[in-house]
Chains A and B, each alone.
Chain A
């Protein structure tokens, strides 16, 4: 059993939500507590598997899983290195707390919440683990179609309006993804990312412009998912309209785009390659624009949900700025900031729902409302999360921003990075302070009545906030891990060697040299 798990550990984070989702689909008629139990067990199992995967790859190994035993450039592979395992674990953690929140009742506002949730996890984990560009597209579609369902879960005009924009924008993004993938396949003759890295390194000058155009088109699609300005406009309304558990798991969805950007820019267009530095200047400049636009959005928000969504945009901008600076220090800073911003954003989305539920008909409008029965608790949680998200000492946002700024000191863009990040911190501080004082201090006797928040609903918020605090207490080991991750990312040769050198036990039917002719050089067939 242990050996079987060891052997199939890389695919386990896909199989658990897939089988869980199918089981839940078959249990459509069962009682709600039973479905919740199955869904929760599946998420817990996923967490265990993800933890085991992270521990296995934390020594720097790159695990390669060849599906069907076909060797790497011809078959489909799943690849787990430090970055992929870290993000799978982060997804599992978020899923655990989002599920804890959902089973308090928000999963009953529509049908099939648990099925959609499991397929969302399948898509997220698949996108992190795949080593193949076309499968990245397929897993993107899996996570997107599940997210369409989760966004619309519960119904209502707000969700329909936000959902229509979200779906159409993402469908256009998928079409562009296919154009980019098609062009890259036409020129390079492969879709395995490690093999593409090898081919880009030996690119003939005549094909350079074509690969450059396709690469940038590909990164445009990832930037759309990562909410890089000016492609971020779909995000605030969609995230604000989504239900709390869905919004919490969406916090990791922008990180899928950031992950794909950093993977492609370090592997295919990576250091030492022909097209090194193709993406980074765009990430840096547009990342800074994203921070500015997001901060203005934060200042202009009149609802807490919208404010938190704009904070997600700001954090996406900071993250992509860090990746755009480039180099080991900046990428490690970005990865630390990624962990922090995902956990805190998810906690804020869950807290927003609790505050809105407690305030009765005032909901999450940033205005004087009824006297809250547990204002100290809700306000205290908001204070802690606000301090973390704005980046004030002593919480994780501060450490993350300091690391990003420190990495930015050596960049030629140093004055811009410092000015934009610091001024945006001030602006978000002003906005968050104003929101906090309006929500928790000012009362309006005519604003209806408030209800006591459900304490069980607050447990996931506290747990996510607690994880943010653990990120500070254990900042040393966490930083050592993300630094090792960044070092692994910036050394694509090891990744390529692991994927292309891995010889599976089962010998495929087609001999490799024949298949090479079929896949690698389609030009020979031209009449």
Chain B
């Protein structure tokens, strides 16, 4: 499972970085989204991968999942979602103001 998660994070990040380096705003926004998916998965995996264990401490059960990364990733998802919405609006605004969707606004 570790290898699968690691490959997934790697693929998402690679695609995100590739798209970020494109010259049009739409691929850049997609790249930011993929990068934030990658980072969210990474953050989630940092509490170690545990299957079938609750995120709270119960005297009856020996194993539990570290709840902190789950709280962190929730915060990161909310912030990332807000930022993506903002950058979409900004890209549309730049398209309207500059007459082009090039990231430098001059082509």
Flag whether A476 is at the interface (Cβ < 8 A).
Answer: no
Cα distance A514–B57 in the bound complex, in angstroms: 8
Q: Is the CB of B103 within 8 A of A164?
A: yes
Q: A134-B72, A168-B103 are in contact. Are A518 and B43 (CB under 8 A)?
A: no
Q: Does A299 contact B (CB under 8 A)?
A: no
Question: Residues 335-349 of chain A: 1 if any B CB is under 8 Å from the residue's CB, otherwise 0?
Answer: 000000000000000
Q: Contacts of A157 on B, CB cut-off 8 Å?
A: 97-98, 105
Contacts A134-B72, A138-B79 known; A171 to B90 CB distance under 8 Å?
A: no
> Is the Cβ of B90 less than 8 Å from the Cβ of A152?
yes
Q: Is the CB–CB distance between A164 and B90 below 8 Å?
A: yes
Which of A164, A186, A517 counts the most B-chain CB atoms under 10 A from its CB?
A164
* Size class of the A contact interface (CB-based, 8 Å): 35 or more
Cβ-based interface call for A165 (8 A): yes
Please give the residue numbers on chain B whose beta carbons come within 8 Å of chain A beta carbons, in ascending order. Answer: 20, 25, 28, 32, 35-36, 38-40, 42-43, 46-48, 50-51, 53, 57, 63-69, 72, 75-76, 79, 82-83, 86-87, 90-91, 93-94, 97-98, 103-105
User: Does B67 lie within 8 Å of A518, measured CB to CB?
Assistant: yes
Q: Which residues in A have their C-beta under 8 angstroms from that of B83?
A: 141, 145, 167, 171, 174
The smallest C-beta distance from B107 to any residue of chain A, in angstroms, reads 12
Q: In chain A, residues 492-527, which have Cβ atoms closer than 8 Å to a Cβ of chain B? A: 510, 514, 517-519, 522-523, 525-527
Q: In whole Å, how far is A448's beta carbon from the nearest beta carbon of chain B?
A: 25
CB neighbours (8 Å) of B75 from chain A are 134, 138
Distance between B79 CB and nearest chain A CB, rounded to angstroms: 5
Known: A138-B75, A160-B105, A161-B98. A518 touches B90 (CB 8 A): no
Interface residue? A479 (CB, 8 A): no
Establish whether residues A141 and B72, one from each chain, have CB atoms under 8 Å apart when the complex forms. no
A141 cross-chain contacts in B, Cβ below 8 A: 79, 83
Which chain B residues lie closer than 8 Å to A175 at the CB level? 32, 35-36, 38-39
Subset of 30 A-B contacts with CB under 8 Å: A148-B86, A155-B97, A156-B97, A157-B98, A160-B97, A163-B90, A164-B94, A167-B83, A167-B87, A168-B28, A168-B32, A171-B83, A171-B87, A172-B35, A174-B79, A175-B36, A175-B38, A175-B39, A178-B43, A179-B39, A181-B72, A182-B39, A185-B72, A191-B68, A517-B57, A518-B66, A522-B47, A525-B63, A525-B65, A527-B51
User: Does A106 have its Cβ within 8 Å of any Cβ on chain B?
Assistant: no
B32:A171 contact, CB within 8 angstroms: yes
A179 to B94, CA, bound (A): 29
User: Which chain B residue lies CB-closest to A164?
Assistant: B94
A141-B79, A164-B25 given; 13 more Cβ-contact pairs under 8 Å: A138-B75, A156-B97, A157-B98, A160-B94, A161-B97, A175-B32, A175-B39, A178-B40, A185-B46, A517-B57, A518-B67, A522-B47, A527-B63
Would you give the shortest CB distance from A193 to chain B, in whole angstroms? 15
Nearest A-chain residue to B95, judged by Cβ: A160
List the A residue with the shortest CB-CB distance to B16: A175
Q: Which chain A positions have C-beta within 8 A of B94?
A: 160-161, 163-164
CB within 8 A of A167: which of B36, B72, B90? B90
- Measured CB to CB, the closest approach of chain B to A510, in angstroms, equals 8
Q: Which residues of B contact A44 (CB under 8 A)?
A: none
What is the chain A residue whose CB lies nearest that of B44? A182
Chain B residues closer than 8 Å to A527, beta-carbon distance = 50-51, 63
Q: How far is the CB of B22 from chain A (nearest CB, A)?
A: 11
Known A160-B90, A161-B98, A518-B67: A182·B79 in contact at CB below 8 Å: no
Q: Does A285 contact B (CB under 8 A)?
A: no
Residues of A within 8 Å of B90, CB to CB, are: 148, 152, 160, 163-164, 167
Closest CB of chain A to B96's CB: distance in Å? 8
A window 171-196: CB within 8 A of B: 171-172, 174-175, 178-179, 181-183, 185-186, 191
Q: Are B105 and A168 in contact (CB-based, < 8 A)?
A: no
Report the nearest B residue to A190, measured CB to CB: B68
Q: Which residues of B contact A179 (CB under 8 A)?
A: 39, 42
A181-B42 Cα distance, complex, nearest whole Å: 10
CB-CB < 8 A to A161: which residues of B?
94, 97-98, 104-105
Distance in angstroms from A517 CB to nearest chain B CB is 8
Q: In whole angstroms, what is the CA distance A134 to B47 when docked?
A: 15
**Closest Cβ neighbor of A184 among chain B residues:** B46
Give the top 6 A-B pairs by smallest Cβ distance, nearest first.
Answer: A186-B46, A160-B97, A161-B105, A160-B94, A182-B46, A182-B43
Of the candidates A160, A182, A522, which one forms a contact with B93 in the assembled complex, judged by CB atoms under 8 Å apart? A160
How many whole Å from A464's CB to the nearest CB in chain B?
A: 31
Inter-subunit contact B68/A185 (CB<8 Å): yes
Residue of A nearest to B96 (CB): A160
Q: Provide the bound-state CA to CA distance between A525 and B66, in Å.
A: 8
Q: Which residue of A lies closest to B84 (CB)?
A: A171
Docked Cα-Cα span, A141 to B47, in Å, equals: 23
Q: Which of A160, A181, A519 contacts B98 (CB 8 A)?
A: A160
Chain A residues near B50 (CB, 8 Å)? 525-527
What CA separation (Å) do A497 and B79 show in the bound complex?
33
CA distance A449 to B42 in the complex (A): 59
A183–B67 Cα distance when bound, in Å, is 16
Across the interface, which residues of A come within 8 angstroms of B51, CB to CB? Answer: 527
Name the CB-closest residue of A to B68: A519
Q: Which residue of B lies closest to A178 (CB)?
A: B39
B68: chain A residues at CB < 8 Å are 185, 191, 518-519
Chain B residue, CB-CB nearest to A168:
B28
Report the minimum CB–CB distance from A235 to chain B (whole Å): 16
Q: Which residue of B lies closest to A517 (CB)?
A: B57
Report which residue of B25, B76, B87 has the largest number of chain A beta carbons within 10 angstroms of its beta carbon: B76
A183: B residues at CB distance < 8 A: 46
Query: In angstroms, how far is the closest chain B Cβ from the Cβ of A496?
Result: 21
Nearest opposing residue in chain B for A186, CB measure: B46
Q: Whole-angstrom distance between the alpha carbons of A216 and B61 in the complex?
A: 39
